[in-house]
Amino acid sequence: MKTGNQSIKTDFILSGLFQYGQMDTFLFVALVILFAVALMGNIILILLIQLDTRLHTPMYFLLSQLSFMDIMNITTTVPKLATNFLSNSKTITFLGCESQTFVLIVLGGTEALLLGFMSYDRYVAICHPLHYPVLMSKKICWIMVTCAWTSGSVNALVHTLYVFHLPFCRSRLINHFFCELPSLLQLVCQETSQYEYTVLLSGLIILLLPFLAILASYACVLTVVFQVSSGKGQTKAVSTCFSHLTVAILFYVTALSTYTRPHSLHSPEQGKAVAVFYTIITPLLNPFIYSLRNKEVIGTMRRLLV
């Protein structure tokens, strides 16, 4: 244990997302329902992909990875939030906070890269269909997934180790419902402006570059679709691209607003609201937007239920 200006490895206190009024109880119940729907939606999607060999394609392989990440995401935050609310306890151990921070940064970075690879898959399938078996072979899919997980893990490890070796000599109250990097920096009692540039740089690389790649990919897809498809095909393509882009924008914009702003500009209440979107709402929407609206997935579900 250290004293003075050094960090003392004691428990942190999470302010939580709710208080304990009647309205907050209603919101808590709504959140638990959303958690259950998101969890079941992603589990069902993974099972459908595993059980039907017709879904053993690059697109659905990447989708199964996305669903796995979403399951890990919501189970890393919501159960702890629910436990603290029900037990009226707001503490989280130093190691628990460190682990939660690491896992969430891993998942956020990996998902950001994976969504970029998924847009590349659709770009190749529509713009270069004859080269699709070569450009999206099983080996290349595994390289993409390995690259995403490795990059996300290395990025998370560097940031987590650095932040948790900083001196936390202010209040142990984290004004959030989980341990997140920007909220932790507000408890540090030394200058962190130089480190914030590192966070900004990694955020731009891991978040902004894949997002720009997604926009470029779908722009190319829509260009090709409008050149060769009929009116009905164009309408379907626009609808699909719009729904995919909506979820992507929701994820990237909220994540960028969290990790690319100086912590001095962060509003705790705004930060909590934004975090709900990329930790709960996005995992809820992904299985429905990307797959459960898909005729192949619906067909698989019907065949298994009959």
- The DSSP string of 149-197 is HHHHHHHHHHHHHHHTTS---S--EESSSS--HHHHHTT--S--HHHHH
Tokens coding 219: 């722009």
pLDDT in tens, 6-63: 445 678 988 877 655 555 778 788 888 999 999 999 999 999 899 888 889 999 999 9
Q: Residue 179 phi/psi, 5° resolution?
A: -80, 115
Tell me the two tokens of residue 190. 């030394």
Residues pairing with 91 in the sheet: 13
Q: What is the pLDDT of residue 21?
A: 54
Contact predicate 58/136, CB 8 Å: yes
pLDDT of 68-93, one tens digit each?
Answer: 999 999 999 999 888 888 887 788 99
Number of C-beta neighbours around residue 177 at 10 A: 25
* Other Cβ atoms closer than 10 A to 150: 12
Between CA 35 and CA 44 the distance in angstroms is 14
pTM, to two decimals: 0.89
Instruction: At 4, give phi and psi (nearest 5°).
Output: 70, -130
Cα(261)–Cα(248) distance, rounded to whole angstroms?
A: 20
CB atoms under 10 Å from CB of 228, counted, come to 10
Helix (H, G, I), strand (E, B) or coil at 45: helix
Low-confidence ranges of the chain (pLDDT < 70): 1-9, 18-23, 170, 229, 231-234, 236, 262-264, 292-293, 306
Pair of tokens at residue 209: 């570059």
Residue closest to 237 by CA, chosen among 248, 246, 226, 227:
226
Name the residue with tokens 């705790």: 268
Say how far apart CA 249 and CA 138 lie, in whole Å: 28
What pLDDT does 194 receive? 87
Q: Which two tokens stand for residue 160?
A: 């987590």
> What letter represents residue 268's amino acid?
P
Distance of CA 164 to the CA centre of its chain: 22
Residue 258 · residue 200 · CB < 8 Å: no
